[in-house]
Amino acid sequence: MSTHKFATQALHAGHDVQANGGTRAVPIYQSTAYVFKDSDHAANLFALAEPGNIYTRINNPTNDILEQRLAALDGGIAAVVTASGTAAIATTLLTLLRAGDHIVASSSLYGGTYNLLSVTLPRHGITTTFVDPSDPENFDKAVQENTRVVFIESLGNPKLDVLDIKGISKAAKAHKIPLIVDNTIATSYLVKPIEHGANIVIHSLTKYVNGNGTALGGAIIDAGTFDWTNGKFPEFTEPSAGYHGLVYADVLKEASFIAKVRIEGLRDYGSALSPFNAFQIIQGLETLELRIKQHSKSALALAKWLQDQKEVTWVNYPGLDSSPYKALADKYLPEGQSGLVTFGVIGGYESAKTIADKTQLFSLLANIGDTKSLIIHPASTTHQQLSDEAQKTTGTTKDLIRLSVGLEHIDDLKADLKHAFSLIKAKAEA
Ligand SMILES: *Cc1c(COP(=O)(O)O)cnc(C)c1O
């Protein structure tokens, strides 16, 4: 399979048709548990002496196909799917870190991730230093003795900054710590962070991978490139009390991390993906390439059009010539820059709210990556809980409107926005 192109792997990777009853579509294995042949067989499975299914919180044949497919598409050695993108992030960090550990993270992050790192994990003794991600040296400078991971988004949400993954991976490597990249907005079609040095890739499958807003899901993909025996990760080199004395690095070698995510992380935190959702996500993944190309094309066209509207004060899209991230976009996202566009309007906070209220094709909701166009005003919604300072560092200015450009005809989207713009103008003149 590894020689096949992206579109082909998205349709076939991981699905052994004959081993699955000749099914052309991936079947839904809606079973909570699996019958053991006998007690010895069960004992072997629990001891990892032979592969097999035990309980759907740990593994499931439908999820397994999705996991193999996602690992293939991102160039990883294995993957674990989770109940949501948030579950993927939390399970990854809780698998790797313990109280006293430290994270260096990009300040330009999804609001939920920002809260996890800045508020919730500190309650468990895990702290984060957020850095301006535009210079890889900032990551290098923020690393402390107890730093154990670097966390970034390849394309920041909602700032839409393109990160220099290669430069940041070099900084992480110099300190012998892994680089984790949330690749949700770009998707593995537009950029494969592992090719640029990432050790772990995370996706919210809820967004472009599922693609039509019907199922939550997440994924953790292991590049298999990190040396867990370098002295900084005793959990991998000392007998695990959580798995009858297993020494991960000895037994599971380069797959130590992803194995620990499954056999301890899924077991203890319970973030399993429903096989029904895995099935839905597989339907979406089949057409990811076609969709993300069109989302990118429409978003660029709409961004250019927005630049010419007199109600619009600024437009941010990494593919625009005016974008400060254009050079990085050319390097990391040459096939397209995904479907999100942000812009500001005259009249600031109130006008932005009016536009979010008055568009009709663009649905006002807190999601992205849907086939249908979406709109939100982050300062009054998704990023409302953040302090003024945090809103600033995450790039969520008061006048910012975020569009998730869907697959409707671009003329209809323009007309919808134009109508909403006419209403703020009327308001301003009244
Ligand atoms: C949505 C999102 C998440 C969280 O994913 P859920 O599936 O909603 O839990 C994480 N990172 C990014 C970049 C996202 O856009």
Q: Which DSSP string do the residues of 126-138 spell out, in sequence order?
A: -EEEEE-TTSHHH
Query: Above 80 in pLDDT, residue 386?
Result: no
- How many Cα atoms are found within 13 Å in the side-chain-facing hemisphere of 138? 15
Query: Above 60 in pLDDT, residue 1?
Result: no
Determine whether the shortest distance from the Cβ of 185 to ligand 1 is under 6 A.
yes
CA of 52 to the centre of ligand 1 (A): 30
Q: Is beta strand 218-222 parallel, antiparallel or unpaired with respect to 401-404?
A: unpaired
Which residue's entry shows tokens 């991102």? 74
CA of 109 to the centre of ligand 1 (A): 10
Task: Give percent above pLDDT 70 in the chain.
Answer: 98
What is the fold of 289-429? Answer: Aspartate Aminotransferase, domain 1 (3.90.1150)
- Which residue has the least CA distance to atom 1 on ligand 1? 204
Residue 63's pLDDT band (cuts 50, 70, 90) = very high
Quote the CA–CA distance of 157 and 42 in Å, as a whole number: 45
Give the H or E element holding residue 376. strand 374-376
Query: Pocket of ligand 1, candidates 81, 89, 93, 110: which has the most ligand atoms within 8 Å of its Cβ, to mutate?
Result: 110
Quote the CA–CA distance of 367 and 169 in Å, as a whole number: 29
Q: Where in the chain is the domain with CATH 3.40.640.10?
A: 6-284
In the predicted model, what is the mean pLDDT of residues 162-166? 98
b/e per residue 295-318 (b: at least 16 CB within 10 A): bbebbbbbbbbbeeeebbeebbbb
Query: Above 70 in pLDDT, residue 2?
Result: no
Q: Please tell me whether the peptide bond between 334 and the residue prior to it is cis, using omega within 30 degrees of 0.
A: no
Residue 428's pLDDT band (cuts 50, 70, 90) = low
CA of 110 to the centre of ligand 1 (A): 7
Strand positions, DSSP E, 211-335: 218-222, 312-316
The model's pLDDT over 400-420, given as tens digits with 9 standing for 90+, comes to 999 999 999 999 999 999 999
Quote the CA–CA distance of 320 and 337 in Å, as a whole number: 10
Query: Above 80 in pLDDT, residue 392?
Result: no
Q: Which CATH entry fits the domain spanning 6-284: 3.30.200.20, 3.30.2130.10, 3.30.230.70, 3.40.640.10?
A: 3.40.640.10
pLDDT score at 384: 79
Q: Where in the chain is the domain with CATH 3.90.1150.10?
A: 289-429
CA of 189 to the centre of ligand 1 (A): 17
Mean model confidence pLDDT for the chain: 95
Ligand 1 atom with least separation from CA of 218: 7
Lowest mean pLDDT among 19-28, 72-81, 235-244, 385-394: 385-394
Determine whether the shortest distance from the Cβ of 112 to ligand 1 is under 6 A.
yes
CA of 38 to the centre of ligand 1 (A): 41
Query: Above 50 in pLDDT, residue 353?
Result: yes
> Which CA distances in Å does 135 have to 156, 181, 251, 427?
14, 16, 38, 42
Q: Starting at the earlier edge strand, list the strands of the sheet with 374-376.
A: 312-316, 340-345, 401-404, 374-376, 363-364
DSSP state of 119: I
pLDDT score at 430: 60
